[in-house]
Chains A and B, each alone.
Chain A
């Protein structure tokens, strides 16, 4: 078994910045990602980011990825990158078992940073297994990574930022977005994204959900219906839309399974997407030397994930005995950035969730 100074699991926005901060402080890092390429969600984010310059606002996600990987490139043999490697087991003594192709091996880390992200939530409706029913992330991967259109006429389900942005990206690819339905009584994502697709003629229907997919071998139509205050479908309100694709964007759930395998304390917080690890001020879990950041800690934008990754990287480097220049000042500034990103009405949910978890915001 190989011993590592710091292991980062997940090479998305949070994992990349955590690795960078550790490397900057002189630590050795082993960065593991199950995909072919590093970047996580950044690999498919063709839209420009909001926020401030510090979080690369006005850059596209794919370009931010390039900036971050270029910075990683400076650290040579201090950085070991294991792509196409999946961590399949996690044990309390900070031993990980990994699989890469046909190879199975174990690693142990002095500090372990979890940045495993989240998985998409599925929706129970009739014929939800019909080909043509996609999760929004899958549509984004097909279009933005592989250049494949998922269909010609899409019903989007969910008006969070992912639903709104993917609708726009579908239209950019020449796909018609027939309607966007939202079960809640209001739009979930940023209004600036919603206005953009509304201007392009997409109907955004609130208090509405998909009742069933219709089709023989694949989706030929979708039946939608209005919901009452208890989120129950109203009989007689059904409408049929001619679509060949139903894209489900109903939220994300943190991928805590590895943390739970090693017995880290988690708490169910609906506002944060489900079970999330309970973290201390340092972003450390209930197991000493094990940290969590990004969507795994709470579902937010990549901008926040990058800031959290930096905080975790600095904290982990310091607890390894590495000296970090201006550490206290930088952590304070980073916390301030998080506060800004979570400000205003769009941040209500996250702030409420973090409060339930006992985290000061």
Chain B
């Protein structure tokens, strides 16, 4: 299988080959991959790529999945327009 043709993160177009390359550079945690390659930061918020990334890390580090931490999740889960947040804040006042 050619890892260049396997998409791991559809939101940011990250292939399995990109992930392997980052592993070899020493980035082997979800948090690092997220910061460098943006996996898990797109519209799906890791709901598509997350489990695949975790699985690849587990295989690379030869650790069971239970020991591969998932990424930290923070609000907001969707893109929200600043105007909507501003209007909500004005309503509160």
CB within 8 Å of B: which residues of A? 1, 86-91, 97, 99, 102-106, 119, 121-129, 211-212, 233, 253, 255, 257-258, 260-261, 268-270, 274-275
Contacts and interface: CB of A to CB of B under 8 A. Distances in A.
Interface stretch (B22-30, B31-39, B85-93): B85-93
Given A88-B75, A119-B47, A122-B49, A104 B7 contact: no
27 contacts: A1-B92, A86-B78, A87-B77, A88-B80, A91-B75, A102-B83, A102-B84, A103-B84, A103-B87, A104-B84, A104-B88, A119-B48, A121-B51, A124-B16, A125-B1, A127-B6, A128-B6, A129-B7, A257-B45, A257-B73, A260-B73, A261-B74, A261-B77, A268-B66, A269-B66, A270-B65, A274-B70
A104 B87 contact: yes
Contacts of A103: 84, 87-88
Residue from the set B66, B74, B76 with the largest chain A CB neighbour count within 10 Å = B76
Nearest to B49: A122
Interface in B43-73: 45, 47-52, 56, 65-66, 70, 72-73
A212 B88 contact: no
A89 B75 contact: yes
Q: How large is the interface on B (under 10, 10 to 19, 20 to 34, 35 or more residues)?
A: 35 or more
Nearest to B76: A88
Contacts of A122: 48-49, 51-52
B47 A255 contact: yes
A128 B83 CA distance: 37
B4 to A, nearest CB: 9
A105 to B, nearest CB: 6
A261 B84 contact: no
Contacts of A87: 77
A242 B74 CA distance: 43
Contacts of B74: 261
Nearest to A266: B70
Nearest to A129: B7
Contacts of A86: 77-78
Contact of A261 (B73, B78, B87): B73
A211 B1 contact: yes
B23 to A, nearest CB: 14
Nearest to B72: A260
Contacts of A274: 51, 70
Nearest to A126: B5
B78 A275 contact: no
A102 B51 contact: no
A265 B81 CA distance: 30
